[in-house]
Amino acid sequence: MLRQILLSKIHRATVTECDLNYNGSISIDQDLLDASGMREFERVEVFNINNGARFSTYVILGKRGSGEIGINGAAARLAMAGDKVIIINYGMMDDREAANHRPTIVIVDEQNKVIKH
């Protein structure tokens, strides 16, 4: 049996922009993707701490070192610049893999720079 297990989390990132007219997705600074292990086009879940909204989307590359967390497309109605969000991804694992797995937790500062992982 496979279980859906947390792979990584970017905790309390600050939304830097929202673009309703973009075709969808979340743009994330490449430095944060590297730290978390998330990949371009991967499905992620986003939890908005400010308003409780939760949604799924996919990752697109943000400019490295920019601190960018951009909510795009229809999801832009669920967040505002300045909101705090949690971004997570999951992977499928069997019990043996899951027993030894520890998720990567990336904690960021107000400018979305990694302070702990």
Catalytic residue (one of 8, 22, 25, 56): 25
27 has catalytic annotation:
no
Q: What's the first-to-final CA gap in the chain, in angstroms?
A: 30
Type of residue numbered 85: V
Cα–Cα dist 34/52, whole Å: 27
Categorize the per-residue pLDDT at 39 as very low, low, confident or very high, splitting at 50, 70 and 90: very high
**CA angle, residues 105, 110, 116, in degrees to nearest 5:** 30
Categorize the per-residue pLDDT at 23 as very low, low, confident or very high, splitting at 50, 70 and 90: confident
Q: Note whether 61 and 27 are within 8 A (CB).
A: yes
> What's the confidence (pLDDT) of residue 36?
98
Give the model confidence (pLDDT) of 100-112 as tens digits: 999 999 999 999 9
DSSP state for residue 35 in the 8-state scheme? H
Catalytic residue (one of 8, 36, 56, 58): 58
Cα–Cα distance list, 37 to 13, 17, 67 (Å): 16, 23, 16
8 has catalytic annotation:
no
Domains and CATH numbers, the chain: 2-107 (2.40.40.20)
